[in-house]
Amino acid sequence: MALNPYFQQGSQGEQRLVQDLINEHLRIYGIEVTYIPRKFVNQATIIEEVTASKFDDNFSVEMYVNSYDGYSGAGDVLTKFGMSLRDEVELTVSKERFEEFIAPFMVASDDIDLASRPREGDLVFFPLGQRLFEIKFVEHEDPFYQLGKTYVYKLKCELFEYEDEVIDTSLDIIDTQVQDEGYIATLKLVGIGRTAQASPVRATGFIDEIFLNNDGSGFTGTPTVSISTSPSSLNNSDATAVAFTTTRANVTSIEKILITNAGIGYTETPTITITGGGGTGAAATCSINTTSGGIVRYVVTDGGIGFGTAPTVTVSGGGGSGAVGLASIGINNTQGFNEVKSIFVINPGTNYSVSNSTVTISDPETLSGAGTYQFNEVVQGMRSGTQARVKKWDSDTGILSISNVGIGTTTTGFFKGEDIKGLTSGALFSVSIYDKDDSTDKYNEGDIFETEADAILDFTESNPFGTF
């Protein structure tokens, strides 16, 4: 039987009146919250899994707090990983207000997938507790079609658990909520670099070149290279060298031998002995120069500051030619920056006189840093192209805390010595140390777990029951 045509149940005028009353009710009894839509940056195509998302918009809108008697949910739960906060809140927002004042600004594009209604995964900033809540479910049929229409969305929200999403709403009260959360790496930056200095030592009767006749095998550590003594009575007249190993096809052997001191006063070819390191079979010989002067070693007088990569070493003056040095850099344990530790003798050269030879070491990548990195701005490595977001910048220690390393499609990792530029602030400093480990996470014990796991018997490596 049809409805009575003389009574209108759900005319447009009646529906308009109800919507206006609800809007006014929310303006009177509601609170102003900030709605933050989720934008998908990277999304897997097989099961539509979101691999990266960002929150960089904000909309102020009034909502009514349904759970007026306090947070619902499981509350504060003590777990084996620490305290877990599982507060929940239910909010009501006007359907008309959302569709007219928020939805028009949420335009979908290739890398942003948005909807015309509140969507699960979006965030709501609750100002009374200054907390971020994530929308878990949107109910659009409660109340159930009053006068034939729905007027509100009910948002069931849980306390947001941060997982390295990009939050950049331009509102500090929101963005700073996650300043100390997520996976945080650190960069040790150098603001003021300094060129290293070294002086050459010229002599005759030196080792001209070392030949690696057999690279050996089975090394588990660094072997020791011993060279027979020189007949000269001068200081530091005995030649010295160091070996470097490499592993190929699970076999560790000697890759090269570099001279640290070519020696003084050798009249006969010295013998070279390679011992230690757990390996066998390595052998080397050398040739000597007894007729002309060469650069037999380098004395580093100033290690410099801020080297990310080994600088070049050149020798000029002294009437000779062919001298080549190779700088080795390492961390200054006191100051925490990279410096030139030593210079290897790659080629002593010939015909150098007693004096007038000069060693020139190239400058570090950055001689003078400048600027102040801003919280949440994007920084970029000028050589690697790697991008990250600033969590914290300490100009006194030169420590830059960063997150979201490798934003978008850039590579994931910074090079030592490259310049790090703030794309907003313009700050520019050079990388001395890049530490991937999250030192701020009190639950980060990954290295301990890995070490302990290595001690557990792996059945794929050996038979635990012996060989028969």
Would 7 be classed as within a structural domain? no
User: At which of 326, 361, 396 does a domain end?
Assistant: 361
**Same-domain pairing of 19 and 167:** yes
Would 4 be classed as within a structural domain? no
**Same-domain pairing of 75 and 150:** yes
Would 293 be classed as within a structural domain? yes
**Same-domain pairing of 247 and 144:** no
**Same-domain pairing of 398 and 455:** yes
The pLDDT, as a whole number, for residue 460 is 56
Higher pLDDT, 75 or 274: 274
**Same-domain pairing of 380 and 354:** no
**Same-domain pairing of 54 and 106:** yes
Would 467 be classed as within a structural domain? no
Higher pLDDT, 456 or 177: 177
Nearest to 217 by CA among 286, 273, 277: 277
Residue 2, judged by CB atoms within 10 A of its CB (0-12, 13-18, 19+), counts as: exposed
Question: Tokens in use for 290?
Answer: 């007894």
Would 6 be classed as within a structural domain? no
Question: Tokens in use for 239?
Answer: 């030649």
Would 2 be classed as within a structural domain? no
**Same-domain pairing of 212 and 187:** no
CATH at residue 389: 2.40.30
Would 454 be classed as within a structural domain? yes
**Same-domain pairing of 304 and 338:** yes
Would 239 be classed as within a structural domain? yes
Range of the domain at 402: 179-192+366-462
**Same-domain pairing of 188 and 136:** no
**Same-domain pairing of 320 and 403:** no
User: At which of 361, 392, 411 does a domain end?
Assistant: 361
Report the C-alpha gap between 189 and 419 in whole angstroms: 9
**Same-domain pairing of 144 and 283:** no
Residue % of the chain over a pLDDT of 90: 54
SS3 of the chain: the string is: CCCCCCCCCCCHHHHHHHHHHHHHHHHHHCEEEEEECCEEEEECCCCCCEEEEEECCCEEEEEEECCCCCCEEEEEEEECCEEEEEEEEEEEEEHHHHHHHCHHHCCCECCECCCCCCCCCCEEEECCCCEEEEEEEEECCCCCCECCECCEEEEEEEECCCCCCEECCCCHHHHHHHCCCCCCEEEEEECECECCEEEEEEECCEEEEEEEEEEEECCCCCCEEEECCCCCCCCCCCCEEEEEEEEECCEEEEEEEEEEECCCCCCCCCCEEEECCCCEEEEEEEEEECCCCEEEEEEEEECCECCCCCCEEEEEECCCECCEEEEEEEECCCCCCEEEEEEEEEECCECCCCCCEEEEECCCCCCECECCCCCCCEEEECCCCCEEEEEEEECCCCEEEEECCCCCCCCCCCCCCCEEEECCCCCEEEEEEEECCCCCCCCCCHHHHHHHHHCCCCCCCCCCCCCC
pLDDT digits (tens, 9 = 90+) for 104-156: 887 655 455 556 889 999 999 999 989 999 999 999 999 888 888 999 999 99
**Same-domain pairing of 60 and 140:** yes
Question: Into how many domains does the chain fold?
Answer: 3
User: At which of 321, 342, 361 does a domain end?
Assistant: 361
pLDDT digits (tens, 9 = 90+) for 5-53: 666 677 888 889 999 999 999 999 999 999 999 887 655 555 555 567 8
Question: What is the pTM assigned to this prediction?
Answer: 0.64
